[in-house]
Amino acid sequence: MKPAPPAVLTNSFYAFYDLHRPAYHAYAAAHLSPEEARIAVSHLFDLIAGNWTSIASERDPSAWAWEQHTRTIARRSGRTPTAAENTSLLYDQLLLSIDQIATVTGTETATVTALLAAANGADRTSMARSGSRTTTARPTAPPEARWRRTLGLRTAAV
């Protein structure tokens, strides 16, 4: 197979950047100070740009980049969230749709749905252990944000 021309690689990188950067930055900002988040995302895309030819040939470049991103954020924040916690954050706080989460993380929509169910189950289990009778400790999105997510519209957080 003949390698792709440089213009195609450049365009594909910028398309990847435009699609993923807002969510990557919002995720980083949820864990780090604004300056640290900006630096982490900048370093990630420098890494991706420098290795784009090999990353673009990966089975799923989004999954590769998400793994690098979450590993960097965990190292900088001092905490490694589970995949269910990350998915819950993307859905409940950053207001990404299930399809958007699947795209950004490089996972199947069924996996995203299962991770959200696991996160909700973990919340209920921890609440039951603590003796609380409330059904959820999870913040809910404002009605307009939920409506926008349902329609697949972008929100200000992303």
pTM confidence score? 0.73
* Contacts of the segment 43-47: beta carbons below 8 A, 24+ positions apart: 43/72, 44/68, 44/69, 44/72, 45/17, 45/21
Q: Is the four-CA dihedral 154, 37, 126, 87 of positive or negative sign?
A: positive
Q: pLDDT tens across 103-154, in order? A: 999 999 999 999 999 998 765 444 444 444 443 344 445 545 544 554 455 5
> Which tokens hold the place of 129?
């252990």
What pLDDT is attached to residue 121? 78
Q: pLDDT tens across 9-23, in order? A: 789 999 999 999 999
